[in-house]
Amino acid sequence: MTTTPATAVSDLDFARTLTLLERGVVTRLGEALKAEGATLEEWRVLSFLADGAGHAMTEIAEFALLSPPSLTKVVDRMVSLNLVLRRVDDEDRRRVLVFVTERGTEALSRWTAAVEHEQQNIVTALGGEEAALLAALLRRACGRLIS
Q: What is the pLDDT of residues 71-114, one digit of tens each?
A: 999 999 999 999 999 999 988 899 999 999 999 999 999 999 99
What residues have CB less than 8 Å from 104, skipping those under 6 apart? Answer: 46, 49, 78, 82, 83, 84
pLDDT at residue 9, rounded to an integer: 67
| Residue pLDDT, tens place only, 23-76 | 999 999 999 999 999 999 999 999 999 999 999 999 999 999 999 999 999 999
Residue 1: is its pLDDT beyond 80? no
Predicted TM-score of the model (pTM): 0.87
Instruction: Look over the chain and give the mean of its residue pLDDT values, rounded to a whole number.
Output: 93
Instruction: Find out whether 36 and 114 touch, Cβ atoms under 8 Å.
Output: yes
Is the per-residue pLDDT at 128 higher than 90?
A: yes
Torsion sign across C-alpha atoms 69, 74, 76, 79: negative
Q: Is the pLDDT of residue 145 over 90?
A: yes
